[in-house]
Homo-oligomer: A and B are copies of this chain.
Amino acid sequence: MKTVIRPEKDEWGSLCERPSLKKNYLEDKVRDILIRVRTEKDKALYSYSEKFDGVNPGNLKVSADELREAEQLVPEEIKQAINIARENIDKFHRSQLFTEAPVETSRGVRCWRKSVPIEKTGLYIPGGSAPLFSTVLMLGIPAKLAGCKEIIICSPPGKDGKINPFILYTAQLIGIRDIFKAGGAQAIAAMAYGTETIPRVYKIFGPGNQFVTKAKELVQQDGIAIDMPAGPSEVLIISDGMANPEFIAADLISQAEHGADSQVIFLTDSGEMIEKVKLQIENQLLTLPRQEIASGALENSKLILFNTLDDCIGFSNSYAPEHLIINTSDANRLAEKVINAGSVFLGSYSCESAGDYASGTNHTLPTNGYARNYSGVSIESFLKKISFQELTAEGIMNLGPAIEIMAEAEQLNGHKNAVSIRLKSLKNG
């Protein structure tokens, strides 16, 4: 852990820097995978599954039997917990649905927008040791609420050739039954271009390792939309001298256990608090199962002392964290000043885990500073807004002359003529 005392403003830039990811070596490998899946389709998927997952998954599509089996394998206690999370996520994302009223911009000129679901969407759910069934909720619930007609899931099979039962159970709970055994860049390729078994989609969502991230970046060039660019997960915590250092240490560690590349930053206006938090981290690490991973991330973490809490917020806006915890007695005042962040947690009881699982907000958020120019996943991520306009005869008579003048000034006489011909017809009629 690196402690920084009252950095000058011109040091902020370098303190905000993320470790640069050398991703170029990946690009060629991922491009090869994309091309091979595009041409050989299912055959390529089987071959990559043997190579990377070490298994032949049999049918790529998860069967009804496997879905039933998964339901039996998930303990009742976990089903209940998932249901509580589901209800909150549903409630919050449902509140984001609304219909816009038409606007009469001039007499006889009515304009409006309509939200229409993206027809075909694909959700990628990573496999590996920790089955991220919470991500199934975070992507699947808004996709369903938006009304996407086709929603598919790709997730890599385990050594037994099956997808983790928690993932399968959660998917069918929210009504997704088109689930395919494919992981990595090859799964992204399958959803982008389609194979005999896996249908192609228009937008791809979900977290993943560097191969998955690179594949999502590259398929964009073929017109497939993605949720957002991705990088390692991050938390930035701001506290005053009154906060409970146990809570802060626990929150920093919970981020650090994601991976050795996780970004963990603590800002405060109290020098004493920095010492207390350090001590707490050491204590709490002792009993953590993922101690080794967390220690790696904590080595690169920064604890920074500022003169004021406003400076802390200023620095946070420069950093643009994925998760921002404001654990101060005036959290709501500071919240007003947040410009760049993915999701913000206010007060001492709003830990990041709450948002990761069950408060109702989405946990798919912009990392790596992308909170400056991207939003997290929401209902809008699954919708397009189509604009409509209807001009009456009165409308075109009102507005027509202005359009004619502008079109002519832009040297687009065909555009002008489309109006003139209507005005003439109205005059003659």
Contacts and interface: CB of A to CB of B under 8 A. Distances in A.
A389 to B, nearest CB: 5
Contacts of A412: 130, 254, 257-258, 290
A140 to B, nearest CB: 15
Nearest to A370: B223
Interface size class of A (residues with CB under 8 A): 35 or more
A64 to B, nearest CB: 24
Contacts of A166: 409
A389 B360 contact: yes
Contact of A389 (B100, B344, B371): B344
A14 interface: no
A357 B95 CA distance: 34
Interface string A343-381: 111111111111111111110000011111111101010
Given A357-B406, A410-B131, A414-B294, A378 B385 contact: yes
Contacts of A162: none
A390 interface: yes
A160 B96 CA distance: 51
Identical subunits present? 2
Contacts of A373: 118, 202-203, 223-225, 384
Interface stretch (A46-54, A104-112, A301-309): A104-112
A242 interface: no
A254 B389 contact: no
Contact of A411 (B88, B129, B202, B294): B129
A58 to B, nearest CB: 26
Given A109-B354, A119-B339, A134 B406 contact: yes
Contacts of A422: 247, 250, 348-349, 351
Contacts of A116: 338-340
Interface string A87-122: 110011001100011010110010101101011000
A419 B353 contact: yes
Interface in A220-241: 220-221, 223-225, 229
A388 B335 contact: yes
Nearest to A368: B223
A344 B116 CA distance: 13
A84 interface: yes
Nearest to A118: B373
Interface in A383-429: 383-393, 395-396, 399, 401-403, 405-407, 409-419, 421-422, 425
A358 B414 contact: no
Contacts of A130: 410-412
A422 B351 CA distance: 9
Contact of A357 (B284, B375, B396, B407): B407
Given A85-B402, A335-B388, A414-B256, A250 B421 contact: yes
A66 interface: no
Contacts of A411: 129-130, 289-290
A263 B402 CA distance: 26
Given A96-B113, A361-B111, A405-B81, A349 B103 contact: no
A349 B396 contact: yes
Given A341-B386, A350-B396, 8 more contacts: A119-B372, A250-B421, A254-B412, A254-B417, A345-B389, A353-B416, A354-B403, A361-B388
Interface of A: 77-78, 80-82, 84-85, 87-88, 91-92, 95-96, 100-101, 103, 105-106, 109, 111, 113-114, 116, 118-119, 129-134, 166, 202-203, 217, 220-221, 223-225, 229, 244, 246-247, 250-251, 253-258, 284, 288-290, 294, 331-332, 335, 338-362, 368-376, 378, 380, 383-393, 395-396, 399, 401-403, 405-407, 409-419, 421-422, 425
